Structure 1
């Protein structure tokens, strides 16, 4: 090529001619092809020239003006064609890159975890480069190759890579070292002339050329994506290189987002697990049990099952004698023994307090009795706590599906009733009996005794003080019912409230408790004590649409302001019939009565009902409170609930305060109200005023217990 003549035209942008005696035409080109004269014109228009067009002659000749104009016009036209072709090629490359990036983002949005995202990147690069196969090489934290994912590889070649590379320190491979240093794609046209891969590995995998891109998440190198082909070596065009660079940049974001999705998915799975696990024992909680039972009786109507309700005998005595911390330690030891009596597929759950439940799928009465007997046997040996042997037995009630019902609530109620029969008879376990057997007659007897107790003032109220943690004042009490049985002595509510609910006596019992607590409160307020009282409601109370009117009448009769009465409802009761619950609660709130969620955190702890239902107070369950100084998870739950209450403007009450450290921590976190044995045990009405007087009406905050 007459380089000097062409270079001059490129510089000037003008046509030029030269003869063999000119220095512009000197050189090997003119000598080899015996060029005597040449005309050179630019391709395109200055300053955007695509090249030079030359007309060569083997004899001396002048180029006429017509030839020059014709050549110049042809050059301008050809230049335009070349520029248009280049523009079309660039547009096609740009569209191809845009399509690849779009595909990367669409597929990457569905990827969870580094491995899935890396496969998406590999497939996109393979399609962009037109290669035959790809592989994703993932590192562990120690810099060793932990996993390889293949796309369109022959099985024999996969085995070669796994055998040679898995578990190896990748810093020994030049390709990895260079990628770690440069963090840029590498384009290898001929594997045989490159020293980045071991020659034997390249030969055994038949890899002739390849592209290697770093797998990045932010600044971290997580691995490599290698895509290539066999056969002949291949040159990688500048357009492809640019496209791959763009994919690498977008791919880093895809991988990072997929990694975050995996972390979030793991977090949600953990939260789902925790929502169904009892924090004290690690067993399934009430919510998990109810869901499993609902599935068993509703979604599998042709299958039988058995429900066992378990209540620990003498547990209350241990709690009262040694404190709730010892009681909790005992429950932790009871769980594994109970668990050892069940088979795979059978569900053991802690329902709350000292009550457990077992769901036995595909079980008949024989299997249910076998498990119940195993439970009684498992608890026979003493539990040793701090060197002290403690004995507890269990009363087990059994209900069978479908014999005793196909409704979740019915089965639970009947298993619960059978459990109370077992407790009274001290037989260890009982199967629910609907006919006139001795079990049913015994149940009828105690129900008749309970009706008589309501008529003869055998039901008494004890009051547990509630302490305002900001002012240090005792600002209220919780009313707790007791049964002064003429033969069995003082009975706690766990003995008779379940039967009262089943027999339809809870509405009458609740009104009795409300009336007596309001009358006691009226006397205390008349004596100058600015106090409030809290009373528990049951499921049947919350389904009674007449309750707001009855409460209004009692408030009017006693002269107690509505704001001095708090009604407590557990989460499970609240969620049993949301529409009716909302109606009754709205009516109570309209009176000015304060509403509280009792045992918050042990049932259906849903933020939705906190928004929808009109509650003033959340009462944290003692299972969280008693462990907040020793269990980081319990502490986190309590602290976050206190913050939630502050944000919602809801009073937070912590029950189960048994030591000064717990009280001090709650006060520091901003909890509003506390109650528990560290402050005072439940007291009869007459003793409460004496206790209050001895304590004094006001204690400065800096002298609070703890």
Structure 2
């Protein structure tokens, strides 16, 4: 931004220097000009035949001012100048400041109107085509005659000067021409650079405007004569005024575009674009018309553009609530002034070319200044947006890091306090972003006022006051506490934050109570850099609060646990892809007959670096990280593959598969079951889906509909860990589970606990009344098994029968058990191999 300002000042100073130089040169030209008077003789004849007319004119006609004379179309004019009345010198120069005359000749005559020899145009001969002139010998010449003709109505300006003055005149005009051309090219390069850097449409309009002004200036100075044939100068003269109309049209388009972008112009006013385009096209086509028609068209077009620019400007002033920037006012005044002088030059025929040159410089100054000021404001806005939040205008993370870096460079101790109002996300969903953002602004201003008296870091000071609160993201804010870590100081800030947010958010008689999560980290105790300090604060903020805790200090143990969870989540994805998981089976035994009822498929994970990872650890991580769907599909697929092999030796075998609550509502999971059951030719009734009680209580209506989808397939449903949740009899009756599993915490101590005995007996009674059978987990001795048999429990599993086995070991266990004779008693079966506690 500083560089842009310096560049703008440099351009501004250079343009002022050009303006001063052109003005000084114009004054010098005006001072050196000599008023030329003489006789005007219209005659279409050669010098020989026109000589008597010239001699007669000096005796019968009155002298006229030859510095600005109107000539008619296709009419030859003779201009006679009495050189004896002017200052004597050895050589003099007569010239015309008209580059587009169709014909011009210079003659030097003695007292008797006889031709004298003239000097060659040795002074700047290349200038003769732009500034026609002739050098004559003042000692012998008494009369100077100029013969001129043009294809259309035109104006001729005749001047008389010395050779030295003419050389100064040429040099001055050349210098002014070079300065103005250089200025216009500089303006074009600035507008082009701005467009390349910012892609602003305004820059394109300025490029077109400066292009039109450049073309008009080159034509006005006759520089295009070098590239034209004998018949083209008239076209160039007319095209000069067409370029003036086009330049004003471009400015009008720019103004209309701006008003449209500000939604100020109404739809019906868009036809102004059509009017501007129409007058622009007519102005260009008028170059093919006669001079009189061209004059009328250009005059009307310039008048229309002037009226339109004034209308747009005053319409803008009357329909905008904002103050009009002074640079736009400067531009409007410059354009209006330029248009008025263009019209004056065209209508009156006055010689205002020097004034027009000054106005070109003035317009360039106005437009470049406006463009650079606009870009400066845009850069400031862009810089502001980089360091502030768009919605609340609070400082953002970038500005916070800058302030923290300055504290770290000073080695000053400080603590970052991050807080997250828990109600914001819910409020946005119910009240909308606009209302919540307004609430945030009011609340943060109130909080900032209370924090102003505390020892907190001032992140920013502006016209709005003291800024100490930073918005890190959509719902997280930060405050920096200066000084060494003091719990009392942190408690004080926490109390202020909680008190400010205690009122919650109210909208249309709806009120949401707010709660604030707060995390704290300290420099240099917890971090050595500003970025690391923010990271530590976020880690402290992410810790789930315990009952009664209002804030958390960063703890390295929590970070270690969090990093382990991240490592597990990352490794779990690879474990699924590279088949690092395995299924173990724990047999389920019919307690009445001693026969194998089935087996529960249990997921196991042995990682090369992490070692054995229990399901209680990686299943919640899989659910939170979104990997649970892939994991469930792998378990179901692998379990049914194994079931295919098991049913080859035990057709009645029932495999129990645990399913996550998050996967229960997936519509594609029943399709997966149908596909696999059909592929492996399995009986759906031999598949048991086990759902935890907490999972079945999640959104009960949808759960029931989901369970019906599985029942249509033929798959059976079991409720696992029964007794640990809050299921009611009505709920169990509505769900209609095929199997109820008693959690092992009620079974393992059943022999000694009256409460556990009551729970197990009641569960068996409930299952019988609902038409379900009961499976007891955690049976580890015969006494527990006998009690459960007495309660009516049908199926049991636990270490008393077998611990969970790998698939190959489970197949061996099945073959060994199935090898026992049918006449073997239940006690003999247990003794001969059913009880695998000591064998596996």
| TM-score (normalizing by structure 1) | 0.39
More helix by share: 2
| TM-score (normalizing by structure 2) | 0.33
Structure showing greater radius of gyration is: 2
